[in-house]
Amino acid sequence: MKEQQKDLFFGSLDSAGKAFAQKLSFKIRSRNPNLVIETYLGQANIGKQLKKLIH
């Protein structure tokens, strides 16, 4: 399986930030359907994504 390049990455740790990240990514997706957007919520998910970006 070919890995797909991501256009935008959102991450958040706290509850208010998670809600904001979800709303923002939904709004951007609805206006730009060709963008690939990933939203990572919580410390474990953000940590995994950062490790992928570094390597």
pLDDT in tens, 1-55: 556 666 777 777 787 888 888 899 899 989 988 888 877 777 666 677 777 766 6
Q: What is the pLDDT of residue 33?
A: 86
- Indicate whether 15 belongs to any domain: yes
Domain of 25? 8-54
Of 32, 13, 10, nearest to 21 (Cα)?
Answer: 10
Question: What H or E segment, with its residue span, contains residue 13?
Answer: none
Query: pTM here?
Result: 0.58
d(CA 52, CA 46): 10
Examine residue 2 and state whether it is found in any structural domain, yes or no: no
Q: Is residue 20 part of a domain?
A: yes
Number of structural domains the chain divides into: 1
